[in-house]
Amino acid sequence: MTVVLAFAPGDLGTAATRAAGRAALLLGTDVVVVNTTRGDRLVDPRWADHDQLVEVGTLLEGAGIEYTVRHLQSSALPAEVVLGVAAEVAADLVVVGVRHRTPVGKLVLGSTAQQILLGARCPVLAVKPPAP
C-alpha cells in the first residue's frame, strides 16, 4: 500500500502534503512524493527546490510517516510521470492539489490534476487550497 503525492510548491502543495499524510496514517502506509518538470523548461514554478522538498519531508516526518521523494526531470507531461510512478508502486491512492481555473485557462494550458483524475487506476484525492 502506498500513497502517491503529486507535489507542487506553495500553499496548495502544503495542503496536499497534509492530506497525503493523513491518508497514509489511516491506511497505515508510506508516501511517495513526486515532483516533476519537463526537461525543456527553463523555469517551472511547480519544480520544487531543495528547501521546499525538505519542508515536505518535515511535515511527513512530523506525522510519523515514512516517505521517499522522486524529483524527476522528464520529457513526459507531469501527469504522465505521476501516473507512471503510481503504477510502478501499485499506489492505493494518489493525492493532488486542485485550484480554480477559468475555462479559457483550462482550454489553453490543460490541467495536470484533471489528467491525473481521469488517468489514474486507483482512487484520487483532490485537495483544494486553504480558504483565504
Q: Does residue 84 sit within a domain?
A: yes
Residues in the chain: 132
Q: What is the pLDDT of residues 77-128, one digit of tens each?
A: 999 999 999 999 999 999 999 887 776 666 555 688 889 999 999 999 999 8
Residue 106 confidence (pLDDT): 61
Query: Is-above-0.95 flag for pTM?
Result: no
Q: Does residue 132 sit within a domain?
A: no
Report the share of the chain in percent with pLDDT over 70: 91
Q: How far apart (Å, rounded) are the C-alpha atoms in residues 110 and 24?
A: 29
* Three-state DSSP state, 96: strand
Q: Does residue 58 sit within a domain?
A: yes
Residue 110 confidence (pLDDT): 63
Residue-number span of the structural domain to which 119 is assigned: 2-127
- Helices within 1-132 (DSSP H only): 11-27, 50-62, 78-88, 103-109, 112-119
Please state the domain count of the chain. Answer: 1
CATH code, 70: 3.40.50.620
Residue 108 confidence (pLDDT): 56
Q: Is residue 43 pLDDT above 80, yes or no?
A: no
